[in-house]
Amino acid sequence: MRKYFFVFFTLAVITLLSAGCLRRGSSASPQGKTDGPDEFEVVVKADKLKIYFIPKNMGNAYFDALSSGFYSAMTQLGEDNFQYYYTGPDTAEAASQIPFLEEAIQDKADAVFIAANSSSALNETFDKARKQGIRIYIINQDIPDNEARRDAAIMPVDFNTIGDSLISDLGRQMNYEGKFAILSATEDAPDQNTWIDLVKQELYGDPQYSGMELVEVVYGDDQHEKSTEEAKALLQRQPDLKGLLVPTAVGLPAAAAIIREKGLSGKIKITGLGLPSEMAEFILDGTCESFQLWNPPYEGQIGVYLVWAEKRLGFNPVPGARFSAGRLGDYEILPNGQILTLKSPMVYNLSNIREYAILF
Residue 170 CB, nearest approach to ligand RAM (Å)? 16
Question: Which of 74, 136, 138, 185: binder of ligand RAM (CB under 6 A)?
Answer: 185
Q: Which helix (H) or strand (E) is 266 found in, with range?
A: none
Residue 142 CB, nearest approach to ligand RAM (Å)? 12
When asked if residue 140 is in the footprint of ligand RAM (CB under 6 A), the reply is yes
CA-nearest of 241, 171, 252 to 204 is 171
Which CB, 111 or 254, lies closer to ligand RAM? 254
Residue 263 CB, nearest approach to ligand RAM (Å)? 27
**Which span (94-102, 174-182, 184-192, 305-313) binds ligand RAM, by CB under 6 A?**
184-192
Strand, helix or coil at 293? strand
When asked if residue 67 is in the footprint of ligand RAM (CB under 6 A), the reply is no
- Phi and psi at residue 202, to the nearest 5°: -70, -45
When asked if residue 183 is in the footprint of ligand RAM (CB under 6 A), the reply is no
| DSSP structure class, residue 48 | P
Which CB, 171 or 220, lies closer to ligand RAM? 220
**Which span (78-86, 168-176, 189-197, 207-215) binds ligand RAM, by CB under 6 A?**
189-197
Contact letters for ligand RAM, residues 205-224 (x by CB under 6 A): -----------------x--
Task: Answer positive or negative: Cα dihedral of 167, 173, 176, 181.
Answer: negative
Which CB, 62 or 82, lies closer to ligand RAM? 62
Q: Residue 145, exposed/middle/buried by CB under 10 A (0-12, 13-18, 19+)?
A: exposed
CA-nearest of 204, 205, 257 to 229 is 257
**Which span (102-110, 248-256, 259-267, 309-317) binds ligand RAM, by CB under 6 A?**
248-256
**Which span (106-114, 188-196, 207-215, 282-290) binds ligand RAM, by CB under 6 A?**
188-196
Q: Which residues pair with residue 114 across a beta bridge?
A: 54, 138
- Answer for the pair 340, 334: CB distance below 8 angstroms, yes or no: yes
CA distance 70 to 74: 6
CA distance 212 to 328: 40
Question: Which of 32, 51, 53, 60: binder of ligand RAM (CB under 6 A)?
Answer: 60
When asked if residue 273 is in the footprint of ligand RAM (CB under 6 A), the reply is yes
DSSP per-residue codes, 212-249:
EEEEEEEE-TT-HHHHHHHHHHHHHH-TTEEEEEE-ST
CA distance 108 to 133: 9
Question: Which of 28, 49, 115, 246: binder of ligand RAM (CB under 6 A)?
Answer: 115
Residue 26 CB, nearest approach to ligand RAM (Å)? 37
Question: Which of 74, 170, 249, 270: binder of ligand RAM (CB under 6 A)?
Answer: 249
Q: At what angle do helices 224-237 and 251-261 cross, to 10 degrees?
A: 50
Beta strands 241-246; 178-184: pairing state = parallel
Residue 33 CB, nearest approach to ligand RAM (Å)? 30
When asked if residue 199 is in the footprint of ligand RAM (CB under 6 A), the reply is no
Q: Note the residues at the interface with ligand RAM (CB under 6 A).
A: 56, 60, 62, 115, 140, 185, 189, 191-192, 222, 248-250, 273
